[in-house]
Amino acid sequence: MSTERDPDCLFCKIAAGEISSDKLYEDDRILAFKDIHPQAPFHALVIPKRHIATLNDFGAEHAELAGSLMMTGRRLAAEHGLPGYRVAMNVNHEGGQVIFHAHLHVLGGRRMKGELG
């Protein structure tokens, strides 16, 4: 699902500033903030401000937005001096997704462990 906002969505509330977050980057379309339960010394989440539930809900009209999420992750890593890092997006329950507002994980600050799955 893609809509401007889902009233029941936690990340829509964070995007709207109704729930506080530790912001790392913001523009008119994108917000990045620290993950509340970091799995590495650096763990950011990069989200579109509009509600898009999963990667599968990105349409062709969202291709540039998808690229901007990735480029934001890259920029955060550079700004935080990470020599290497990992970006990941969980898709659907089977992919480990818990919050159904699409988000890119950016992890770094130590050597990443070998297993992804």
Q: What is the DSSP letter of 62?
A: G
93 a catalytic residue: no
- Applying CB under 6 A, among 4, 7, 28, 37 the residue interacting with ligand 5GP is 37
* Pick 60 or 98: Cβ nearer ligand 5GP: 98
Which of 50, 32, 41 is CA-nearest to residue 84? Answer: 41
- Which option in Zn ion, ligand 5GP, none does residue 35 bind, with CB closer than 5 to 8 A by kind? ligand 5GP
Rounded to an integer, what distance in angstroms lies between the CA atom of residue 117 and that of residue 101? 21
Dist. CA 18–CA 67, nearest whole Å: 26
Pairwise CA distance, residues 2 & 54, whole Å = 9
x/- site string to ligand 5GP, residues 16 to 35, per CB under 6 A?
A: -----x-----------xxx
Q: Which residues are catalytic?
A: 103
Chain residues in the site for Zn ion (CB under 5 A): 6, 9, 11-12, 51, 101
